[in-house]
Amino acid sequence: MATVDQAVRLRTGTRSERLVRWVTRTPIHIGLIAIAVIWLVPTVGLALTSFRKPENIANSGWWHAFTQWDWTLHNYGSVIHATGMGHAWVNSLIITVPATLLPLTLGALAAFGFAWIPFPFRDTLFLLIVALMIVPIQTSLVPLLKLFAEHGHLNNGYWGIWLAHTAFGLPLAVFLLRNFFITLPKDLIEAARMDGASNLSIFRRIVVPLSVPALASFGIFQFLWVWNDLLMALIFVSDPSKQPMTVRIPYLISTYGQEYNLLAAAAFLLMIVPLIVFFALQRYFVQGLLAGSVKS
């Protein structure tokens, strides 16, 4: 009998605790849902507008798409083929992928050196690199443009913008990845060294597999920054045939300013890739950001 009474009290107490937790967390959940709705409404509206016909856009709001069901893919066909956005979309990929992989690779190697390889003035150099994050990009655009023009006209192709994005992305890469690398087990690194493993082998076989969350977090940051960049693409890509979507869309606005169906389709083409990248890697995102917050 005593056992039954204890089980009843335990079950009742558990239910009470669950109720208290639910009531306590409800305002937080409501706030998070509200933030998510505010963030999603413009995106959903843009996506629905991109599938609607021009006459429907002119006569009703985007929310009527749920009841009219008169959608079309003609907007995307016109944008991709008639306005050249398909080629600009490919240019965005050509610019973004190397401009993400280069600082990710170089930053990871440098961060490993700052975390696990002792050398003179290591901490001082690390602080100097971190201090570079506060340098405004706008202050160095003109000197970089002149430098690229004097050395092989780098601004005529992709090399100039690849190098520029790599240079400005490295400080954040070194800072974020170094803070993650120093949280890795020290005994594991020392055991690998005692077994005769070189620094490159330790980096490739131990550090990189254990650091996927941090690498993915920086990869998301860098990819979104480069993909959505307009200023540096305007300056360092002078060839119109190699310009990304962020540069071509303003020309689309000046040419098709009243055709909102084409503008919505072009804007959603620009948005869809970052959304896919973020949601595909979101499970690593928070882990990578919080990994270096305990030990520094």
**Who's near 231: CB < 8 A, 6+ residues apart?**
137, 138, 141
Share of the chain above pLDDT 90, in %: 20
Residue corresponding to tokens 């020392």: 190
Q: In whole angstroms, what separates CA 37 from the centre of its chain?
A: 21
Average pLDDT of span 116-120: 89
How confident is the model at residue 289, as a pLDDT? 58
How confident is the model at residue 1, as a pLDDT? 47
Any idea which architecture 83-293 has in CATH?
Orthogonal Bundle (1.10)
Residue 175 has pLDDT above 70, yes or no: yes
Does the pTM surpass 0.85? The reply is no
Kindly report, residue by residue over 233-243, the tens digit of the pLDDT.
Answer: 988 888 888 88
Q: At residue 52, what are phi and psi to the nearest 5 degrees? A: -95, 160
Compute the distance between CA of residue 233 and CA of residue 211 in angstroms, rounded to an integer: 31
Residue 295 has pLDDT above 50, yes or no: no
Return the beta strands (E) in 178-290 as ranges: none
Q: Comparing 80-84, 149-153, 289-293, which segment has the lowest mean pLDDT? A: 289-293
Comma-separated ranges of CATH 1.10.3720.10 domains in the chain:
83-293
Q: What is the CA radius of gyration of the chain?
A: 26
Distances (CA, A) of 74 to 1, 61, 261, 273: 73, 19, 9, 20
